Amino acid sequence: MKKILVTGADGFIGSHLVEKLVCDGYAVKAFVLYNSFNSWGWLDESPLDVKNELEVFAGDIRDAHGVKTAMEGCDAVLNLAALIAIPYSYHSPDTYVDTNVKGALNVVQAARELGIEKVVQTSTSEVYGTARFVPITEEHPLQGQSPYSASKIGADQIAMSFYRSFGTPVALIRPFNTYGPRQSARAVIPTIITQLLNGKRKIKLGALTPTRDFNYVKDTVQGFISVMNSHNSIGEVINIGSNFEVSIGDTAKIIAEAMNVDIEIETDEIRLRPEKSEVNRLWADNSKAKRLLGWEPQYGGREGFKRGLKETIDWFADKDNLKKYKADVYNI
């Protein structure tokens, strides 16, 4: 692949992915959400040598004409543009259908018409819902337990339908819970870290017993690049996960230990999901990614998780980074 379009390039994972692609020598067009401030989101924080190499396209994934215009002249498109906050999907589900499902349709429709060599559509482990068996393989049933996860199931199915109907070269990457520098404080790891860095020792969290398979952002980014470059990924759904399961409560304890503080956890009712919507267990089987792509996590297992957390804590501890977050406000 020579020229790559990354949608959602202004976001957490997207900005890390853009930076890695540029550093690896790819020509990158970064699709950012149009706004009157001319903000490129997290790409505004990228090193100057990265920004100087970027072609930036401001648009909206919901606009078919804009999406197709952005994709012209590109060899591959990595579609990360999405609404991802689960609590906000309870509040405004219509926007999730528009952005996630219609956005995916716009991408694969344009890819078909333009003859794009590769489309990597971003899925999420949330589409599995609470695990019926572990570790979770790509054959696990899909369960829409929130409007967000339902919209991502729809997006996945739209993308794969174009592969099956028209031979559009689509690959589906399904990352488990990615964490790292720049992540929104609506996510649990930045929530814990930012509260502690702001001097709180009694921290507010939602449910503590659900388990997650946390994947450090550098591993997720390498997963995207591996899926993009492998012919074996076409028509496939591929989990990208660490194959390490840890509860939210234990995650808080590991972070507190890394930051050398004692904490007390307070359950905040507003942070709890509706009972049938909570995904109680996620644990990735990543053997397919290893087999098809040669990818495997560099931050896997408990020790890898601790290394990833240290890098994350160090980033948030920088006062210039921490001041971007409102740790005392719950952001849905």
* Segments making up each domain of the chain, as ranges: 3-179+216-240
CA atoms within 13 A on the CB side of 46: 30
This prediction's pTM: 0.96
Q: Report pLDDT for 210.
A: 95
Question: Cβ of 134: how many Cβ atoms within 10 Å?
Answer: 15
For 199-250, how does the pLDDT look when each residue is reduced to its tens digit (9 = 90+)? 999 998 989 999 999 999 999 999 999 999 999 999 999 999 999 999 999 9
Question: What is the pLDDT at residue 63?
Answer: 98
For residue range 293-325, list pLDDT tens digits in order.
Answer: 999 999 999 999 999 999 999 999 999 999 999
**CA atoms of 113 and 115, how far apart (whole Å):** 6
Pick the CATH number of 3-179+216-240 from 3.40.1670.10, 3.40.462.20, 3.20.20.80, 3.40.50.720: 3.40.50.720
The two beta strands, 3-7 and 76-79, are: parallel
Tokens of 147: 């409007």
State how far the alpha carbon of 298 is from the alpha carbons of 64, 69, 245, 303, in Å.
37, 37, 16, 10
Reading the block at residue 220, the tokens are 């997720």
**Residue listed under structure tokens 């550098």:** 218
Chain centroid to CA 11: 9
Rounded-to-integer distance, Cα 124 and Cα 104, Å = 14
| CB distance 295 to 222 below 8 Å | yes
Q: Indicate the residue type of 265.
A: I
Positions in the chain short of pLDDT 50? none
Q: Given this model, what pLDDT does residue 116 score?
A: 98
The C-alpha angle 26, 219, 231, rounded to 5 degrees, equals 55
Considering just the CA atoms, what is the radius of gyration of the chain in Å? Answer: 19
Give the pLDDT confidence score for residue 330 in this predicted structure. Answer: 81
Dihedral angle sign, alpha carbons of residues 269, 272, 276, 282: negative
- What pLDDT was estimated at residue 267? 86
